[in-house]
Structure 1
Amino acid sequence: MGLRERKKLRTRQAISDAAIALFLESGFDRVSVAEVAAAAEVSKPTLFKYFPAKEDLVIDRLADHREEAAEVVRAAAGQPPLAALHAHFLAGLERRDPITGLCDEPEVLALNCLIYDTPALVAGMSRFTDHSIDALADALREATGRDDLAPRLAAGQIVTVQRLLALENHRHITAGEAAAARFPAAAAEADQAFGLLRSGLDGL
């Protein structure tokens, strides 16, 4: 990575950090883009170069996960896609990956609550989910050689199930349950969910 790219990355991170801090302190809807730009010491046009929409200031924190399911399928090395995704989700639970909802670190919990409790961010997450479905559908087409609707239908079901599992874990964590105590039930529910998917998707 060259000097210019590193500077851009630092600027992007500074804007994101300033935005998250302000949103957690005052609420997403009460903080303006101008206030975020001022806190990050950049102009509004510069901010919008990095984050085209206000919601992106938060959703961008999850950007690394948008094509995660697709990457798992492509790296499965002969393992059935659903089995690889199941194992990957269980591994995420074990390491308390925030994307699984099973993380009780205060900073992560605060960010998740911000996302789930803000309608504009919930809408932003739908775009995140659509991107994940598109990417996974492409990976499933490559893995199966199918070019009909089945890979996209499967991708939609898989991504939705993962999201629902994460929401259920988040619900328990916000109710005060420790992640370690929640883990056995979370793993069992993941097994159940992927079992239901498998019974309907093995024909893929």
Structure 2
Amino acid sequence: MDETTGAAGTAGAADGLRERKKRQTYERLSETAIALFLERGFEKVSVAEIAAAADVSKPTLFRYFPAKEDLVLHRFADHEDEAARVVAGAGAGAGAPLEALHRHFADGLARRDPVTGLNDDPRVLAFHGLLYGTPSLVARAYAYQGRSEAVLASALTGASARARRPGGPVVAAPVVAARLAAGQIVAVQRVLAEENWRRIAAGESADGVYPDAVAAAELGFGQLRDGLTFLSPTN
């Protein structure tokens, strides 16, 4: 190993360590805040109290989370581009993006992924109760949803080009068509998750809701499939 390679390797390791520590700090701050919110209520916990409990200064906390609401919504950060990643990994056939998204959601239901709303773990229910029961958190969640729609729209534009008939012209879907499609897809997933959570919050079990959740997902994605014709090959 020469000196250049050794220096590059050391720098890379240092960068990796910094990134891991940064992620750990994000997680620690978020989990500390959520625990306090669940105990006392979102509005009754100050940012100063969160910083003190996490043993950091307020300026440090705000460097990681610009808004108090982001401490809660951080749990969704990894899901912002999830639908876009599913679409990017889908095949090039007609309807492949929607089929892949449907499968992904169905798999989430089977795993009782909290993102699908089909999870009756008391801790998950408490978190969802905090989220849906706090108007400022609901409002902030729409900003996350908007970013999800944006990256999904970009992925759908690429998917529409891949779906064109072999040998035909590669023409991406109009921007407005991709944005409309992304909005509809994200809305369907949100409504399905909210309906699952509503029933479980009312006392039903995840296992009991599961068959209806699967049927509702088939209905929702079926409506998307019938309406989003721009993802199919041109005639």
Query: How many angstroms does 1:44 deviate by?
Result: 0.2
Task: Tell me which of 69, 79, 82 is aligned to 1:65.
Answer: 79
Cα pair 2:91 2:97 within 8 Å, conserved: no
TM-score of the superposed pair, with normalisation by structure 1: 0.97
Query: How many angstroms does 1:115 deviate by?
Result: 0.3
Task: Tell me which of 160, 183, 200 is aligned to 1:173.
Answer: 200
The alignment-based identity, stated in percent, is: 59
Superposed counterparts of 1:24-43, under 5 Å: 24-43=38-57
Which 5+ residue runs of structure 1 have no aligned equivalent?
Answer: none
Counterpart Cα distance in 1 of 2:115 and 2:177? 26
Query: How many angstroms does 1:106 deviate by?
Result: 1.1
Query: How many angstroms does 1:11 deviate by?
Result: 1.9
Which 5+ residue runs of structure 2 have no aligned equivalent?
Answer: 1-14, 161-171
Task: Tell me which of 152, 163, 184 is aligned to 2:179.
Answer: 152
Counterpart Cα distance in 1 of 2:86 and 2:203? 32
2:227 is aligned to 200
TM-score of the superposed pair, with normalisation by structure 2: 0.84
Number of residue pairs aligned between Structure 1 and Structure 2: 204
Shift of the 146–203 alpha-carbon distance from structure 1 to 2, 3 Å rule, reads closer
Counterpart Cα distance in 2 of 1:148 and 1:125? 24
Deviations 1:18-37 (A, max 9, x none): 10100000000110000000
Counterpart Cα distance in 1 of 2:112 and 2:220? 19
1:100 is aligned to 116
CA RMSD of aligned residues (A): 1.1
Deviations 1:154-176 (A, max 9, x none): 10001001000000000001001
Deviations 1:17-75 (A, max 9, x none): 11010000000011000000000000000000110100000001111111111000000
> Bigger radius of gyration, 1 or 2?
2
2:189 is aligned to 162
Of stretches 33-42 and 77-86 in structure 1, the one that deviates more from structure 2 is 77-86
Shift of the 13–203 alpha-carbon distance from structure 1 to 2, 3 Å rule, reads closer
Task: Tell me which of 149, 155, 172 is aligned to 1:133.
Answer: 149
Superposed counterparts of 1:13-24, under 5 Å: 13-24=27-38
Matching residue's letter, 2:105: F
Matching residue's letter, 1:180: D
1:115 aligns with 2:120: no
Counterpart Cα distance in 1 of 2:176 and 2:37? 40
